[in-house]
């Protein structure tokens, strides 16, 4: 008699996959002896006036409370031996408006952010003032940052501690519209007295680019193999 038993289906062999090993996160670089000394000095002499501090390259970036700004200058010179003021300037974290409208391409590299982002040590809002001081004896430097009120951006002047802050604060007043309480004379440095607006604010209109857009914003020929752009709308009949 023929065997009516159905043949068993072949058993598929499965190969066990090895577990994927996760790449461990890179450990932060070790602090240098100078960075450790600066961070210790910030803790000792500024205390809770420091909101956040981070090592950055060979220096330190510290975000401090706005009402402690003048004390920061005094402590930097007296206790951190920072005898040289490199500069004082401002930051506007507002994203730059897109040239040519929202639909235009961004040819910058990397592409500029469309939302407000902040740098080292963070920020509470749009405007910050920052200053970089250095020690010519100990060969270290610190960048201090402080948040400013967007509706009335002002802070204490450093001229009484670092006389060289004079023209830095005057420039910052012109370019960003920041006030410096206690400055002897915030008269114009670069711009005419009747000039309106603050050119380094992100919302300052670049009228020259309204008339003539950036060259990178014009239509360019696509790469070989790319689909052709949709044909432009036909002109209205006359």
Distance between CA atoms of residues 20 and 200, nearest Å: 49
Angle at 188 between CA 182 and CA 192, to 5 degrees: 160
Whether the full predicted model's pTM is greater than 0.85, yes or no, is no
Distance CA 217, CA 10 (A): 63
Contact by Cβ (8 Å): 82, 133 = yes
Domains of the chain (ranges, CATH numbers): 33-96+121-217 (3.30.460.80)
Strands 59-64 and 50-56 turn out to be: antiparallel
Report the chain's terminal Cα–Cα distance, integer Å. 93
Kindly state the average pLDDT of the residues 207-229: 57
pLDDT of residue 232: 45
Query: In this predicted model, what pLDDT tens digit does every residue of 60-105 receive, in sequence order?
Result: 999 999 999 999 999 999 999 999 999 999 999 998 776 555 555 5
């Amino acid at each position: 008699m023929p065997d009516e038993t159905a043949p068993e289906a072949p058993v598929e062999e499965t190969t066990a996959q090895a577990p994927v090993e996760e790449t461990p996160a890179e450990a932060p670089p070790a602090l240098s002896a100078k960075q450790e000394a600066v961070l210790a000095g910030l803790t000792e002499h500024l205390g809770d006036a420091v909101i956040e501090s981070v090592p950055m390259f060979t220096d330190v970036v510290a975000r401090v409370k706005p009402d402690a700004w003048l004390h920061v200058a005094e402590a930097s010179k007296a206790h951190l031996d920072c005898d040289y003021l490199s500069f004082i300037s401002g930051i506007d974290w507002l994203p730059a408006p897109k040239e040519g409208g929202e639909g235009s391409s961004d040819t910058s590299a990397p592409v500029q952010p469309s939302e407000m982002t902040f740098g080292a040590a963070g920020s509470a809002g749009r405007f910050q003032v920052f200053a970089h001081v250095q020690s010519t004896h100990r060969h270290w430097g610190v960048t201090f940052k402080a948040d400013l009120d967007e509706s009335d951006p002002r802070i204490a002047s450093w001229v009484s501690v670092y006389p060289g802050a004079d023209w830095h604060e005057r420039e910052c007043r012109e370019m960003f519209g920041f006030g410096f309480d206690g400055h002897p004379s915030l008269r114009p440095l670069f711009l005419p007295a009747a000039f309106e607006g603050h050119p380094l604010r992100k919302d300052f209109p670049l009228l020259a680019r309204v008339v003539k857009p950036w060259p990178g914003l014009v239509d360019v020929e696509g790469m070989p193999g790319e689909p052709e752009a949709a044909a432009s709308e036909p002109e209205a009949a006359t």
